[in-house]
Amino acid sequence: MLDHRWETNKYITSVTVPTLVLHGTKDRVIPFSMGQKIYALSPAKTKQFKQIIGGSHLSGFSVEGQKTIYHFINNL
């Protein structure tokens, strides 16, 4: 886990642009539950939560993560 604190919960509430939360279920840096919380707090009208089963902190770089990002952007 990180030894410093980010105030993501505080700032996500003012982010209204389309938002993709991509999170690996085996992330050891940021708990998976934090990704779920960020998604729930997001006021964005267009938002998506994608879990990468068994994925680590760098799941966005996986093939599944890259496909998710590509489809999210192309469907805006």
Alpha-carbon gap, residue 33 to 35, rounded angstroms: 5
Alpha-carbon gap, residue 73 to 66, rounded angstroms: 11
Q: Please tell me the predicted confidence (pLDDT) of residue 6.
A: 78
State how many domains the chain has: 1
Give tens-digit pLDDT for 18-69: 999 999 999 999 999 999 999 999 999 999 999 999 999 999 999 999 999 9
Question: Mean per-residue pLDDT for 2-16?
Answer: 84
Does 69 map to a domain? Answer: yes
Does 5 map to a domain? Answer: no
Domain residue limits at 69: 17-74
